[in-house]
Amino acid sequence: MSELNNDTLLRSLLREPVDYTPVWMMRQAGRYLPEYRETRAQAGSFMDLCRNPELACEVTIQPLERFPLDAAILFSDILTIPDAMGLGLYFAEGEGPHFEHPVRSEADVERVHVPDPEDELGYVMDAVRVIRRELAGRVPLIGFSGSPWTLATYMIEGGTTKHFALSKAMMFDRPDLMHALLGKVADAVTQYLNAQIAAGAQVAMVFDTWGGVLTPGDYREFSLRYLERIVEGLTREADGRRVPVVLFSKGAGQWLDRMAETGCDALGVDWTTDLSDARRLVQDKVALQGNLDPCTLYASPARIEREVGRVLASYGAGNGHVFNLGHGIHPDTNPDHAAAMVEAVHTLSRPYHAT
Ligand code: 1CP
């Protein structure tokens, strides 16, 4: 494998010294970029794009051609695992994801199988290999998966949900069934991420988008426990370098200390928690990734620069900060405003790393 020319992201995730704060954006490849919309139209459906390694590679690299980002993230989706489990994923135009066969009964849970990643999700591993080749060491490639809890909500509800009616009802009334499902999904996630690492992913990130809808006790029992199991099962070294593991539970500001005890290297933080408070909570045990409110990018470039300065100051001096949005970039964001953010991070962060 080729040498890594920019390892700032890996160094910051491991709390090693860097010259400036590295930056990337959640959902950095996506609909806010006209070139993404063009490739997407050429591919057909969203899943056709995910299943085509060359086109998935093209859209992964598009944001790097526009902005001097410090990382690439595999273009795929968290719902590839339930799709490979046979749930029948589809995206209706202008709507979110749907499953033809949601998981609601004991028989449904029994039918769920743990997919073989190279076999049933081979298109994802092929995309990782093509992207690594095309990146040629420019920046590291982040691989990712959804968390068991977040994936289970989609699998049970059959799509996006407001109140988590069916998934929470199962959690309350049939915790045994919920645990049986979460256990299978956790095994699938572990094998899937390990296959991505074997194919060339240099960071593994777990998106627990819906962890924050749980009470603290339910979060520990139904989300954190499985995140911990995944961290324990992951390959932590490839190409002679440590593969950092990043956990992101949205809305988890109150229990970042517990998350820091899982053995992960870094935590994603959304914009509702101040990074200075987050840093105090985790006591410098892990690196932090975040946390500009994605809506900041609706403001003027001058205002964006000020807010970037505020986020950098809230983390303060020292190693272990990766700049990011607190959640995915919105599809109606002006790309020039994303450019202003990236430039401000690179310029304004240098004094925080001066020795
Ligand atoms: O082209 C389109 O219209 C499809 C929109 C789209 C895109 C661009 C979807 C459908 N997924 C993606 C790509 C995607 N999804 C990436 C690509 C890499 C990058 O960041 O550039 C990633 C990391 C994801 C992860 C993902 N998918 C999450 C976790 C992160 C988060 O944003 O919270 C979740 C919850 C999903 C489910 C999903 N897939 C797509 C949509 C619109 C959704 C959200 C549905 C919902 O709100 O419930």
Give ipTM to 2 decimals: 0.92
Give residue 93's pLDDT band: very low, low, confident or very high (50, 70, 90). Answer: confident
43 lines ligand 1 (CB under 6 A): no
Give the pLDDT score at 3. 87
Cβ contact 230:193 at 8 Å: yes
pLDDT for the residue numbered 5: 97
Q: Is 99 in the pocket of ligand 1 (CB under 6 A)?
A: no
Kindly report the protein residue whose alpha carbon is nearest to atom 37 of ligand 1: 78
- For the stretch 231-284, pLDDT in tens is 999 999 999 999 999 999 999 999 999 999 999 999 999 999 999 999 999 998
H/E element, 232: helix 225-233
Question: What DSSP designation does 66 have?
Answer: H
pLDDT at 94: 77
Q: Give 141-176 pLDDT, tens digit per residue.
A: 999 999 999 999 999 999 999 999 999 999 999 999
**Ligand 1 center–CA 95 separation, angstroms:** 12
CA 76 / ligand 1 centre spacing (Å): 8
Largest distance between two CA atoms of the chain = 60
- Summarised one tens digit per residue, pLDDT across range 184-220 is 999 999 999 999 999 999 999 999 999 999 999 999 9
For ligand 1, whether the C-beta of 145 sits within 6 Å is no
Three-class secondary structure of residue 23 per DSSP: strand
Q: What letter would DSSP give residue 281?
A: H
33 CB under 6 A from ligand 1?
A: no
Q: For the segment 32-82, what is each residue's pLDDT rounded down to a tens digit?
A: 999 999 999 999 999 999 999 999 999 999 999 999 999 999 999 999 999
| Residue of 23, 24, 26, 27 to mutate, ligand 1, most atoms within 8 A of C-beta | 27
What pLDDT score does 2 carry? 64
77 is annotated as an active-site residue: yes
Flag whether pLDDT at 1 surpasses 60.
no
- Give the total residue count for the chain: 355
**Is 28 touching ligand 1 by the criterion CB < 6 Å?**
yes
30 is an annotated ligand-binding site residue: yes
Half-sphere exposure for 52 (CA within 13 Å, toward CB): 14
Q: Is the dihedral of CA 256, 285, 283, 310 positive or negative?
A: negative
258 given a catalytic annotation: no
pLDDT at residue 77, as a whole number: 98
Task: Give the separation between CA 331 and CA 146, rounded to whole angstroms.
Answer: 21
Task: Look at 211 and 3; give whichever has higher pLDDT.
Answer: 211
Catalytic residue among 7, 70, 77, 270: 77
Spatial CB neighbours of 352, under 8 Å, sequence gap ≥ 6: 21, 312, 315, 316, 317, 318, 321
Q: Is the peptide bond before 291 cis (omega within 30 degrees of 0)?
A: yes
**Neighbour-count burial for 8-28, b at 16+ CB within 10 Å, e otherwise:** bbbbbbbbeebebbbbbbbbb
Mutate which of 58, 77, 161 to test ligand 1's pocket (most atoms within 8 Å of Cβ)? 77
The overall average pLDDT reported for the chain is 97
Please count the other Cβ atoms lying within 10 Å of the Cβ belonging to residue 69.
22
Q: Which residue type sits at 109? A: V
Determine the average pLDDT of the residues in 95-118: 97
Residues 6+ apart with CB under 8 A from 64: 72, 138, 139
Q: To 10 degrees, what angle do helices 275-282 and 301-315 make?
A: 20
Q: Give CA separation, 333 vs 31, 93, 292, 296, 300, in Å.
A: 9, 20, 14, 10, 12
Alpha carbon distance 262, 236 (integer Å): 14
Average pLDDT (93-111) is: 94
**How far are the Cα atoms of 127, 150, 184, 326, 341 from residue 188, in angstroms, in the given order?**
19, 13, 6, 27, 36
254 is in an annotated binding site: no
pLDDT at 89: 96
Protein residue closest via CA to atom 43 of ligand 1: 96
Question: Quick check: is 154 catalytic?
Answer: yes
212, with CB counted inside 10 A (0-12, 13-18, 19+), is middle
d(CA 320, CA 235): 21
Identify the three-state secondary structure at position 312.
helix
